[in-house]
Amino acid sequence: MHLTVKNTHKEGLTESELRQDIVTGDWVIIATSRAKRPHEFAQFRRVEDTVGVHDCLFEHPEESGQEKDVLIYNSGENDWSLRVFPNKYPAVSRGKVPRSLEEGPYFAMTGTGYHEVIATRDHYDHIALMEVWQIAEIFDAYQDRYLSLMKKKSVNYIQIFHNHGTEVGASIAHPHSQLIAVPIISPYVQLELKGAESYFRSHKHKVYSVMVEYEIEAKKRVVYENDDFIAFCPFASRAAFEVWVMPKKHSPYFERITDDEKFKLAEVFQKAMQSLYKGLGDPPYNFYLHTAPCDGKDYGAYRWHIEILPHTAVWAGFELSTGVEISTIQPEVAAEFLRDQLKEN
Q: DSSP letters along 255-318, please? A: GG--HHHHHHHHHHHHHHHHHHHHHHTS--EEEEEE---SSS---TT---EEEEEE------HH
**Mean of all residue pLDDT scores within the chain:** 89
pLDDT tens, 181-193?
Answer: 999 998 999 999 9
CATH no. for 67-182: 3.30.428.10
Asked whether the predicted pLDDT for residue 7 surpasses 60, the reply is no
Q: What is the pLDDT of residue 335?
A: 97
Percent of the chain with pLDDT over 70: 89
pLDDT tens, 82-113?
Answer: 999 999 989 998 867 788 888 899 989 888 99
**Ramachandran bin of 104, using left for φ above 0, alpha for ψ from -120 to 50, beta for the remaining angles:** left
pLDDT tens, 12-36?
Answer: 456 889 999 999 999 999 987 666 6
Sequence spans of domains, the chain? 17-46+186-343, 67-182
Confidence of residue 55 (pLDDT cuts 50, 70, 90): confident
pLDDT tens, 211-261?
Answer: 999 999 999 999 999 999 999 999 999 989 999 999 999 999 999 999 999
- In whole angstroms, what is the distance from residue 1 CA to residue 64 CA? 56
Could you tell me the pTM of the whole model? 0.91
List the helix and strand counts (H, then E) for the chain.
6, 16
- In whole angstroms, what is the distance from residue 150 CA to residue 157 CA? 8
Q: Return the CATH number of 17-46+186-343, one of 3.40.50.300, 3.65.10.10, 3.40.190.10, 3.30.428.10.
A: 3.30.428.10
- In whole angstroms, what is the distance from residue 149 CA to residue 147 CA? 6
**Ramachandran bin of 282, using left for φ above 0, alpha for ψ from -120 to 50, beta for the remaining angles:** left
- In whole angstroms, what is the distance from residue 256 CA to residue 273 CA? 24
Q: What is the pLDDT of residue 50?
A: 65
> Who wins on pLDDT, 57 or 5?
57
> Who wins on pLDDT, 167 or 286?
286
Q: What is the pLDDT of residue 338?
A: 97
Asked whether the predicted pLDDT for residue 78 surpasses 90, the reply is no
Confidence of residue 56 (pLDDT cuts 50, 70, 90): confident
Q: Is the separation of the CB atoms in 281 and 42 below 8 Å?
A: yes
Q: What is the pLDDT of residue 77?
A: 78
Q: What is the pLDDT of residue 11?
A: 47
DSSP, collapsed to helix, strand or coil, labels residue 149 as: helix
Decide if 17-46+186-343 and 67-182 have a common fold.
yes
Q: Is the separation of the CB atoms in 159 and 288 below 8 Å?
A: yes
Read off the pLDDT of each residue in 162-181 and give the average, rounded to a whole number: 88
Q: What is the pLDDT of residue 97?
A: 79
Confidence of residue 345 (pLDDT cuts 50, 70, 90): low
Percent of the chain with pLDDT over 90: 67
